[in-house]
A and B are shown apart, each in its own frame.
Chain A
């Protein structure tokens, strides 16, 4: 009996200590959690064909992280990135996001750069119900219809069509109006989507498609392709291509004397300063998409301050020295996520998504409002025309006057030169 009472007393003591411990730990637990960094996970193309853009994006994202952390972090927690190189290889992306969510236990995820790397992450992110800010994916959500997907590239609410809408609007305003078109796409997601949109516009307008082909990603030489396009003798030549292919096609078009009235469209690479310098005057007259150029009509609050920081950070890193194309948007997609998390006050993904849907965000790339499908509510895919480009002068591309904005009218900075070669 005595023994029983002793044990009972010991049990009471033990229970008391445990209860106190639990109470103390429950009091201090939120404090410990608040001190933990807030982890944002992503994959990025740091090697491989799209690494030039991927590394530039990473620099911009790190500038945002530093800015936020200097201002006290998000939800009182310092922001930390957990990222892996996807080597521009879509097959690596699912594994990376699985690891980020299940092993690294990140709090938020954002996407890698480009359509090809965003699509493979979608099923994993959707399964977890996370908000997914994405960086330059063209019409990715058309296949998924995910209500927590938001895309920062200003393609517009019908991305495949809006992407090339300006090109065709400009073409059909000319006199005499063009009658034929050649379509060429590099065989990868983004380029195929861009040209699919152009094909629909051509059909809608009633242009006769006289050439419509794809070419393999990374083809060493595209002279034969350009020769076939020249032989087709189209008024318009619309191309969806990646940097290597774009450079080859521009050179081949000049070498073979392409006679089209408008040439360009969706050529990735012509936005990068290194390639612009090398191609020099060969670029003159080309009408191509872009998202930000140093024209006065695109001088949004904060963008020049950001670019100054980027240009310092990019020095010696072998990336685009000016950072006009992707970096401001890589900063802005985190700016939006950060603003939404701060406004909601916690990491409730449903509430964050709802907030992003209903809010117009003020960012370094201007005001951003998303449509229901997570794309920009209004397209702002620029159509710019290279003008008066001189040889061997990289500095000229950091000033106004070399990439004239022709479309949309809200940011237009000049009129088209048509045909593209006088």
Chain B
């Protein structure tokens, strides 16, 4: 059944799927990789973003991607507020490791329950003209349902990488997890830096959620299915490396797609996690992490 056309299409599908994974993992790469905050609730914020996209799309017909972008500032504000609570309750007293983890677990369940009580448990989907259409370029198929999220994911990842590398605040975010004291000496307030970083991380969830609901139907507990996969991507990419997270997501997406196409989809997650284990055995800091 192997044909070059099938292989090419599998790679293309993997690139699009991987880009989407990157959008979901981006926020976690900032919180877990750079701030050392184990935000296990991140996928739930993504689902919250999906439901926001669903409500606005259902009632006003706006494009889901546009909704995701429009709601990023609100999610940013939620993120900064969340950090204030997290800092006051756990980080300030040095209890962030275990209590912080429990906090985010609790937050995950609370958001899920609120979503269930508000929207019920039925599957929700969005409508857009391009969903169900396909761009055909020679032998290659690009379903817009995957292509649009992939492009949006590449843009948001690129924007975050630029911000991190080109602005003072971005560099401060990269520095805060490495040497907080040195950062203070450089005139930056570590708390403000972390607050902004968590704000950015949660803001990306608004867009990732909108992209998710374009790809698949969503109900409040769907986020749990992503926890393992996105933590694996962040670790594989190298803790704290946004570019690494993106490339790891692409790698997982392409491998899953090729395995699904030629060897059966059941093997895809096993091979993805196999790559993670192999990488960690050879290079414990991840593919792009610093030793």
A interface residues, Cβ below 8 angstroms from B: 46-49, 51-52, 54-55, 87-88, 187, 213-216, 218-225, 227-228, 231-232, 243-244, 247-248, 251-252, 254-257, 269, 272, 274-275, 278, 282, 317-320, 392
Contact = CB atoms under 8 A, between A and B. Distances in A.
B132 interface: yes
Interface in B12-26: 13-14, 17, 20
A223 B146 contact: yes
By Cβ-Cβ distance, the 6 closest A-B pairs, closest first, are A318-B120, A51-B121, A215-B265, A255-B143, A278-B125, A224-B260
Contacts of B123: 52, 243-244, 247, 269, 272, 274-275
Given A227-B13, A318-B120, A213 B219 contact: no
B3 interface: yes
A232 B261 CA distance: 11
Nearest to A228: B261
B221 A216 contact: no
Contacts of A320: 122
Contacts of B134: 255-257
A282 B1 CA distance: 27
Given A48-B221, A220-B216, A318-B122, A213 B3 contact: no
A25 B116 CA distance: 48
A223 B143 contact: yes
A270 B6 CA distance: 29
A221 B261 contact: no
Nearest to A54: B121
B105 to A, nearest CB: 15
A221 B215 contact: yes
Given A221-B216, A243-B217, A52 B121 contact: yes
B133 interface: yes
Contacts of B120: 52, 55, 317-319
B17 A225 contact: no
Q: Which of B119, B122, B222, B264 lies at the interface centre, i.e. has the most chain A CB atoms within 10 A of its CB?
A: B122
Interface string B213-234: 0011101111001100000000
Contacts of B38: none
Contacts, number: 144
Interface in B73-132: 112, 116, 118-125, 127, 131-132
B124 to A, nearest CB: 7
A210 to B, nearest CB: 9
B10 A227 contact: yes
Nearest to A257: B134
A52 B13 contact: no
Given A49-B219, A318-B121, A227 B269 contact: no
B119 to A, nearest CB: 5
Contact of B122 (A46, A47, A274): A274
Contact of B265 (A216, A247, A317): A216
B141 interface: yes
A219 B265 contact: yes
Contacts of B133: 255
Contact of A318 (B9, B17, B119, B146): B119
Contacts of A222: 265
Contacts of B217: 243-244, 247, 269, 275, 278
A88 B3 CA distance: 40
A216 B132 CA distance: 23
A227 B112 contact: no
A44 to B, nearest CB: 11
Given A222-B265, A274-B123, A247 B219 contact: no
Given A215-B265, A255-B143, A52 B260 contact: no
Nearest to B257: A224
A48 B265 CA distance: 23
B261 A272 contact: no
Contacts of B131: 251
B262 interface: yes
Interface string B243-282: 0000000000000111011101110110000000000000
B145 interface: yes
B6 A319 contact: no
B269 A228 contact: no
30 contacts: A47-B121, A48-B221, A49-B219, A49-B221, A51-B219, A187-B266, A213-B264, A214-B264, A214-B265, A215-B264, A218-B222, A219-B268, A220-B212, A220-B225, A220-B226, A221-B13, A221-B215, A225-B261, A225-B265, A227-B6, A247-B217, A251-B131, A251-B132, A252-B143, A274-B124, A278-B127, A278-B217, A318-B120, A318-B121, A319-B121
